[in-house]
Structure 1
């Protein structure tokens, strides 16, 4: 993790000054080394930082690759429901508006949609523990191997919903793990000026999985053969197989190595991450890591070994809870409907399979563009404004979607689809991307793995809960709400807006040590961006 000294805001925004513990005269040699590195790094521009740290950036992106699988897993259940041959091979006959068709029952949809999210909860918690005990590298390899076997079970299911659900459930362990490993590694390796971008890439990579899967479904979905769903299943093998074959070369996180008293290996890791570039002060980077970890350990009343209980003590409780809430907001905001079930919904309101898949691909393409645009907005506007006002815009869109669905005519349905596009673009521009950055930045360096594990536990729990309940609200053989679920998600999204408005801090340009001091002084979340940190 590379920390820099942020520029001071304008004087009219100076609310309070948080003093450093020591004057420059009292700094230890290690602290002076860390401070000198930060001061030098602060002089670099965004593009100079990319040029200087290009090697570690590539390793960071490699660590994020596994999130690709989460993108596919998150939509695979709903997308498969839009494939007529899948419904025929795995489902049962059902008459929809007097027309014979095949559907998967709401009970099986609930299980198939939610089982991987349920096991992902366990995977996220296990990863928070294993990543601190075995390291990021070994933990990643273990869950890649599990995923390869789990996808094999899905491919072998061939009409058996129980086997299909078992395979998806096993893969959920890996999905939960990858949501921790990718952003965790990025937050520990990325230079400060690139931290927002490199953690936001988490969403870009997982959405790339969605986009690729959408394209494959568009081509394969209308086919009247088992290949229509078997080939999409096999896509899930690509990334874990590649990572498992190449992970030997991935440098271990120096933060993990320092935290487990493996200083010599941390030096080797830094050399692997940065090469022999003499412009990168690797001793300064190491000094920063050691200084921050020692400060956090000395400030903690808990044992030297970080624990989940410590995440909820008075020093860390608010940081943990807001991290968990940010991830909960993603599924409280209607993601499962607008992103996951859109192809199925388009068919239910009268579009053919081919046109439904085309609309889905078009919507997802717009979302991908929004995702890329958010990289620049994160640096320009900060994290808090994007999430807070993005939540409010999303809430308004959802109520409009619900209202248009009440009309029950073609113009009403077209308006519903239009605002589904607007909601999706807004979501990927704001909360969908920025949440990954915020949750990677808010936790203390020492508790980062476990806090992110708890946040991902929350994400997977809400993903499972919503995926489990949604079919009973939405499916024609159950609640049959259709687009009127916009009212339900509009209400829950409003709760999300209120939570982030009051409790989400601005973390832009704040180092881990500076956030520690702001939280120690109990600075209100809404004043983080106005609080000036004095120089040593």
Structure 2
């Protein structure tokens, strides 16, 4: 106890000394750091922040696990060995997992992710990103045993819920960490990289499922579950070695540790640049402190933060409302429509490869076009593709199987090129710095709630022993995608090339979403008098006696 108190006291003394060292220069240094970020080219940003890029890439790999699992359960419903173990035999269609159990198993990890994400909002705010991630990975290692040895659908459901607790943490922490360790010109790339990890996990899962398709007995579906054990321990080691987010350390008033974290993340930054960056973080936090003091979920719905919460929640919900439950993993759709399982899984594997390529290409588009045009154009295009799938099903029936498959691949490419990766960038950049862990959790929770409704509807729409709508489902999801298209045109702002200070001012001044990109802001304009006084003092101090 005495040692802890002494260490805490020493930390406070070090922070006070650092604040005194910043002193009158803090405003000048903060403005200099902001100007440097705007002037920095992409290659300069990569060179000066190469360690930050590396740590962000490694931490985001936790999303591979969530992406891997989302493909497993949805495709297992078309998996012969899984159908025999957890389904029933119907005289008309053979072995099938009923609509009730499809809904429950799909929802299991989603429910767990909601609970895990909400808890994570408080835990990450208090204990930091690194230790929250380490504990979550350790817990997941144990929960995988439940799904691997599940003897019934009920036990498998419990395992999915328990695993979902950890996946909810990964899905909210990874984009938040990526947005906080890198400068403005790299944020878009590293937050959208989160979606590439998602696509990578799904590509790996599709390959594993295709490879295990011919294995007889329960190991045919247990091996894909067992592969999840490859990830947690190496990722725990990475998280232990990674530097903590300097923004979280500043929010926690650990300025000396924040400075050390910035130094660890920097590649070729001088002592002056590190001090400038720290001063900018302190200045941004102070700007938000009065309206977000205490950092509770309720604060996300107060003042201009209500608009920011709306944007991050609806933008993330757009991933589901764009029809992802239907078109993202279409294997079950094609097998129920009459396509042989082998061909359906081959198509799924190829589609996931297309998704990977689309996400990589999105990095180039986002750097030139920004977030708003890509999101609006993407969601509008997805709506058209889904309606075309519905029209084909009505007009051609089973003859439309392969044309519909081609449209699903096209849908997946457009999704991976636009709203798939962009949603992660939007939720990470739009939220205020002090409320970011809580805001990202709320956006993910909104996503998961819509996902639950989507999975319930999708299980019944596609199941041949339930509603059996098949391709006509495209009409429904095409309509929901169009609603998001209308919302995004009027409500989604452009955040490209904006520092967090500038975004704070734009939201405080209630600038229209369509005017965000054209509006000029100066975070230091209101401090002009004080800044002038500081520079005068510096000039006098530099004069010879």
TM-score, normalised to structure 1's length? 0.91
Residue of structure 2 aligned with 1:122, choices 110, 115, 121: 115
Distance 1:499 1:28, change over 3 A: farther
- 1:303-329 residue CA offsets vs partner (Å, 9 max, x unmatched): x32111111012210000111001111
User: 2 CA distance for matches of 1:237 and 1:294?
Assistant: 43
Is the counterpart of residue 285 in structure 1 residue 287 in structure 2? no
Residue of structure 2 aligned with 1:443, choices 402, 412, 431: 431
Aligned to 2:407: 419
Q: Tell me, yes or no, if the aligned pair for 2:460 and 2:466 is still in contact at 8 Å.
A: yes
Q: Tell me, yes or no, if the aligned pair for 1:274 and 1:280 is still in contact at 8 Å.
A: no
1:369 Cα offset (Å): 0.8
User: 1 CA distance for matches of 2:521 and 2:390?
Assistant: 46
Does the residue aligned with 1:529 lie in a helix, a strand or coil? coil
1:414 Cα offset (Å): 2.1
Aligned to 1:388: 376
User: 2 CA distance for matches of 1:124 and 1:369?
Assistant: 29
Is the counterpart of residue 308 in structure 1 residue 304 in structure 2? no
Question: How many residues of Structure 1 are paired with residues of Structure 2 in the alignment?
Answer: 502
Does the residue aligned with 1:533 lie in a helix, a strand or coil? coil
Q: Tell me, yes or no, if the aligned pair for 2:374 and 2:419 is still in contact at 8 Å.
A: yes
Of 274-283 and 215-224, more deviation after overlay is shown by 274-283
User: 1 CA distance for matches of 2:44 and 2:175?
Assistant: 23
Q: Tell me, yes or no, if the aligned pair for 1:52 and 1:280 is still in contact at 8 Å.
A: no
Aligned to 2:541: none
Shift >4 Å, 4+ stretches: none
Q: Tell me, yes or no, if the aligned pair for 2:112 and 2:160 is still in contact at 8 Å.
A: no
Q: Tell me, yes or no, if the aligned pair for 2:37 and 2:185 is still in contact at 8 Å.
A: no
User: 2 CA distance for matches of 1:221 and 1:81?
Assistant: 12
Does the residue aligned with 1:102 lie in a helix, a strand or coil? strand
Residue of structure 2 aligned with 1:43, choices 20, 39, 43: 39
> Which of these two proteins has the greater Rg computed from alpha carbons?
2
User: 1 CA distance for matches of 2:313 and 2:72?
Assistant: 25
Q: Tell me, yes or no, if the aligned pair for 1:83 and 1:222 is still in contact at 8 Å.
A: no
Q: Tell me, yes or no, if the aligned pair for 2:58 and 2:238 is still in contact at 8 Å.
A: no
Of 393-402 and 415-424, more deviation after overlay is shown by 415-424
- 1:463-500 residue CA offsets vs partner (Å, 9 max, x unmatched): 12211221112101111111111011111111111111
- 1:180-223 residue CA offsets vs partner (Å, 9 max, x unmatched): 10000011111111110000001000110000000111111232
User: 2 CA distance for matches of 1:512 and 1:278?
Assistant: 22
Is the counterpart of residue 209 in structure 1 residue 201 in structure 2? yes
List runs of 5+ in structure 1 lacking aligned partners. Answer: 1-26
- Structure number having the greater helix percentage: 2
Aligned to 1:66: 62
List runs of 5+ in structure 2 lacking aligned partners. Answer: 1-22, 526-545
1:240 Cα offset (Å): 2.1
Aligned to 2:145: 152
User: 2 CA distance for matches of 1:279 and 1:384?
Assistant: 36
Does the residue aligned with 1:316 lie in a helix, a strand or coil? helix
TM-score, normalised to structure 2's length? 0.89
Residue of structure 2 aligned with 1:193, choices 181, 185, 188: 185
- 1:342-367 residue CA offsets vs partner (Å, 9 max, x unmatched): 11222122221211111111111111
Q: Tell me, yes or no, if the aligned pair for 1:222 and 1:354 is still in contact at 8 Å.
A: no
Does the residue aligned with 1:93 lie in a helix, a strand or coil? strand
Aligned to 1:19: none
Is the counterpart of residue 136 in structure 1 residue 129 in structure 2? yes
How big is the alpha-carbon RMSD for the aligned residues of Structure 1 and Structure 2?
1.7
